[in-house]
Amino acid sequence: MSPLKGVRKNLETKDAVAKDGVEKASESPKKGALRENIEAIAVAVLLALFIRTFVVQAFKIPSGSMKETLQIGDHILVNKFIYGVKLPFTGHTLVPVKDPRREDIIVFEFPEDPDKDFIKRVVAVAGDEVQIRNKTLLVNGQEQSDPYAIFTDERTLPGNIQPRDNFGPVRVPDRTVFVMGDNRDFSYDSRFWGFVDLRAVRGKAFMIYWSWDNDAFGFFDFSSWAHAVRWGRIGNFLR
């Protein structure tokens, strides 16, 4: 074989290897793309679960017990790490930050049915003495200004009938809080079923991200759709 033919054959062999490598390389991204998509979805799911468990969670308001602060159909965000990082399912605090304070709006597991979440306002914390006298809230013997409370029932019920308007005095135990709804005459809260254990507290409500008035919505009345959205409440921070 002449030197020229040997060089040409060697170049053809190298070229064939190069083409084969290109073809294989063109196949590998297709296989890699599927794997990358699965990994991206898995990371997104894990991140979403992490955020929902430890950072922030969305809730919908189903009742009027917190009127006028919260309306039926409000969708809120709850800060889950403000009271510390908790171990899921147990409520055990891994990294303590701070405890709920008076006037905080908290979401918690309902003591009578832990599968349900309730939202109320903290009116007293551990060590406080709570009393309600003719609808007036007293904490440690001091009458509270209670700026968020509303009363829509003119009746004042005696304590021997039910504790709504006349209650206590009682002292809040350690590691618990006493909560009430802002709609005082129509709220099922600590006056009726007792204290909230801090382990049951999910977090602090801090913002309304969406609000929908279902009573103003007509499915076939398209003009009502815009009116059903409470635009003025979206983005409001809670106090």
Give the start-to-end residue ranges of the domains of the chain.
1-55, 61-233
Are 143 and 196 within 8 A, CB to CB? no
Of 71, 118, 107, which is closest to residue 212 (Cα–Cα)? Answer: 71
pLDDT in the model for residue 44: 73
Q: What does the alpha-carbon distance between residue 3 and residue 168 come to, in Å, rounded to a whole number?
A: 109
Task: Tell whether pTM > 0.85.
Answer: no
Residues 6+ apart with CB under 8 A from 166: 132, 133, 134, 156, 157, 158, 159
Of 238, 120, 136, which is closest to residue 180 (Cα–Cα)? Answer: 120
pLDDT in the model for residue 91: 65
Catalytic residue (one of 86, 120, 190, 204): 120
CB atoms within 10 A of CB 76: 23
Q: What does the alpha-carbon distance between residue 124 and residue 180 come to, in Å, rounded to a whole number?
A: 9
Q: What does the alpha-carbon distance between residue 170 and residue 131 come to, in Å, rounded to a whole number?
A: 7
pLDDT in the model for residue 144: 95
From residue 66, alpha-carbon distances to 133, 150, 190 in Å are 21, 9, 14
Q: What does the alpha-carbon distance between residue 149 and residue 180 come to, in Å, rounded to a whole number?
A: 9
CA angle 161, 65, 139 (to 5 degrees): 65
Average pLDDT across each block of 10 residues of the chain; the chain has 239 residues. List them in order: 49 42 46 73 72 77 96 95 77 78 96 95 98 97 94 94 96 98 97 96 95 73 72 94
Catalytic residue flag (residue 120): yes
Catalytic residue (one of 65, 187, 190, 211): 65
Catalytic residue flag (residue 65): yes
pLDDT in the model for residue 30: 52
Are 81 and 54 within 8 A, CB to CB? yes
pLDDT in the model for residue 227: 77
Beta strand ranges found along 51-200 (DSSP E)? 56-60, 74-79, 85-86, 93-95, 105-110, 113-125, 129-133, 136-139, 142-143, 167-171, 176-180, 196-197
Q: What does the alpha-carbon distance between residue 239 and residue 183 come to, in Å, rounded to a whole number?
A: 15
Alpha helices, H only, the chain: 3-50, 190-193, 223-228
61-233: CATH topology? Umud Fragment, subunit A (2.10.109)
